[in-house]
């Protein structure tokens, strides 16, 4: 689903209509956390063999507040991540190389991929295996504005497609493409209806999974949990940390529900939607910012994820305690 706004309040019905009309899943509204509908889905013949042995349960486990709807998950180990940095990333504020470096670190080796946090995703699978819990930045490119600064979904599709057809990025149906925009770029619905979204679409002849994540410094009141993050270069420049949070949300969902037909509950909530803008216990960094994860030499403030085991709940690490906020 689209990453819902953190603080702005919009009618859920409107959001759902928007999503259905656009065939994508956007991050949901912060205050909406639908009670998990326990609609049981038959788990195949029960003999699926996980390609990557999950730490808990089998490839398809139901009854934990989220339903399996029959579609595939991404099982790469790691799942390759591709980034298109769109707009002006040599600007001011958080539109800088420092943000590029931070997010590269976050998605690089020995960081988010393989972390106890990402391993929550291993509780999801399909009839041929589990999610590996590992992902890693594979390649990134820069597009300073081939489609202008006022985007809509068709323009994002065109910009991604251009990278595939030119060969600048591989055409990889098993990867996730993150389209990250600088804060001077608008996208229809961004900051007014959602903070990010993911979808799948045939591009260059392949089923490509892509997500839009805008620089949330465009709308800190709606899409940032705090205006100064643990990695902010200056007070009030929280865009990079805010984008990290949305990236976790959309990448989890793009892996567990890549074609929008695998894992979501009866209300349409995917795994990250069920913990949207819920962080669990936090600590305070030297600059006063809150954080709840530490790896790769940084503190991070990232929403929890729904664990599909032990009855289901939001946690910060696989097998850790569940928290409601």
User: Whole-number minimum distance, CB 107 to Zn ion, in Å?
Assistant: 18
Q: Which is nearer to Zn ion, 1 or 151 (CB)?
A: 1
User: Whole-number minimum distance, CB 4 to Zn ion, in Å?
Assistant: 7
User: Whole-number minimum distance, CB 65 to Zn ion, in Å?
Assistant: 15
Q: Which of residues 8-27 bind Zn ion (CB under 5 A)?
A: 27
Q: Which is nearer to Zn ion, 156 or 272 (CB)?
A: 272
Q: Which is nearer to Zn ion, 225 or 285 (CB)?
A: 225
Under the binding rule (CB under 5 A), the answer on residue 305 touching Zn ion is no
Under the binding rule (CB under 5 A), the answer on residue 247 touching Zn ion is no
User: Whole-number minimum distance, CB 97 to Zn ion, in Å?
Assistant: 29
Stretch that binds Zn ion, among 72-80, 159-167, 268-276, 308-316 (CB under 5 A): 268-276
Closest CA to 68 of 50, 37, 43, 46: 43
Near Zn ion by CB under 5 A: residue from 1, 180, 219, 244: 1
What whole-number distance in Å separates Cα of residue 286 and Cα of residue 273? Answer: 30
Name the residue whose CB lies closest to Zn ion.
1
Stretch that binds Zn ion, among 1-9, 94-102, 123-131, 150-158 (CB under 5 A): 1-9
What whole-number distance in Å separates Cα of residue 299 and Cα of residue 228? Answer: 13
Question: H/E/C letters for each residue in 251-290?
Answer: HHHHHHCCCCCCEECCCCCCCCHHHCCCCCCCEECCCCCE
Under the binding rule (CB under 5 A), the answer on residue 5 touching Zn ion is no
Total length of the chain? 325
Q: Which is nearer to Zn ion, 224 or 273 (CB)?
A: 273
Q: Which of residues 116-145 bind Zn ion (CB under 5 A)?
A: none
What whole-number distance in Å separates Cα of residue 197 and Cα of residue 157? Answer: 13
Question: For the chain, how far is it from start to end, CA to CA, in angstroms?
Answer: 19
- Contact string 194-233 vs Zn ion (x = CB under 5 A): ----------------------------------------
Near Zn ion by CB under 5 A: residue from 273, 305, 307, 315: 273
Ordered alpha helix ranges (H), the chain: 12-22, 97-107, 153-166, 220-223, 239-256
DSSP assignment of 140-173, as one string? EEEES-TT-SEE-HHHHHHHHHHHHHHTSS---T
Under the binding rule (CB under 5 A), the answer on residue 265 touching Zn ion is no
Closest CA to 15 of 276, 266, 192: 192
Q: Which is nearer to Zn ion, 140 or 199 (CB)?
A: 199
Q: Which is nearer to Zn ion, 29 or 203 (CB)?
A: 29
Q: Which of residues 40-99 bind Zn ion (CB under 5 A)?
A: none
Q: Which is nearer to Zn ion, 220 or 268 (CB)?
A: 268
3-state helix, strand, coil split of the chain in percent (to 5) is 20, 20, 55
Residues 72, 259: contact at Cβ < 8 Å? yes
Binding site for Zn ion (CB under 5 A): 1, 27, 253, 272-273
């Amino acid at each position: 689903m689209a990453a819902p706004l953190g603080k702005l309040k919009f009618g859920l019905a409107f959001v759902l209509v928007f999503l259905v009309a656009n065939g994508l899943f956007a991050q949901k509204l912060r205050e909406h956390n639908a009670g998990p509908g326990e609609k049981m889905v038959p788990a195949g013949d029960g003999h699926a063999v996980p390609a990557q042995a999950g730490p808990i349960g089998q490839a398809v486990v139901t009854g934990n507040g989220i339903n399996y709807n029959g579609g595939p998950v991404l099982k790469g180990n790691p799942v390759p991540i591709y980034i298109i940095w769109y707009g002006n990333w040599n600007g001011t504020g958080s539109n800088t190389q420092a943000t590029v470096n931070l997010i590269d670190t976050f998605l690089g080796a020995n960081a988010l991929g393989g972390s106890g946090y990402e391993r929550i995703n291993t509780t999801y699978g399909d009839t041929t295996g589990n999610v590996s819990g590992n992902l890693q930045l594979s390649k990134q490119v820069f597009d300073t504005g081939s489609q202008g600064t006022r985007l809509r979904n068709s323009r994002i599709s065109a910009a991604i497609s251009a990278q595939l057809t030119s060969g600048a990025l591989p055409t990889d149906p098993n990867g996730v493409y993150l389209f990250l925009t600088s804060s001077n770029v608008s996208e229809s619905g961004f900051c007014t209806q959602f903070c990010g979204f993911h979808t799948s679409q045939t591009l260059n002849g392949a089923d490509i999974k892509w997500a839009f994540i805008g620089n949330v410094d465009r709308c800190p009141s709606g899409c940032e949990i705090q205006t100064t993050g643990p990695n902010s270069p200056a007070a009030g420049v929280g865009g990079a940390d805010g984008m990290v949070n949305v990236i976790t949300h959309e990448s989890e969902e793009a892996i567990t529900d890549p074609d929008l037909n695998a894992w979501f509950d009866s209300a349409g909530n995917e795994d990250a939607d069920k913990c949207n803008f819920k962080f669990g216990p936090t600590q305070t960094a030297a600059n006063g910012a809150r954080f709840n994860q530490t790896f790769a030499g940084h503190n991070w403030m990232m929403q929890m994820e729904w664990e599909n085991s032990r009855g289901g709940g939001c946690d910060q690490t696989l097998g850790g305690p569940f928290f409601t906020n």
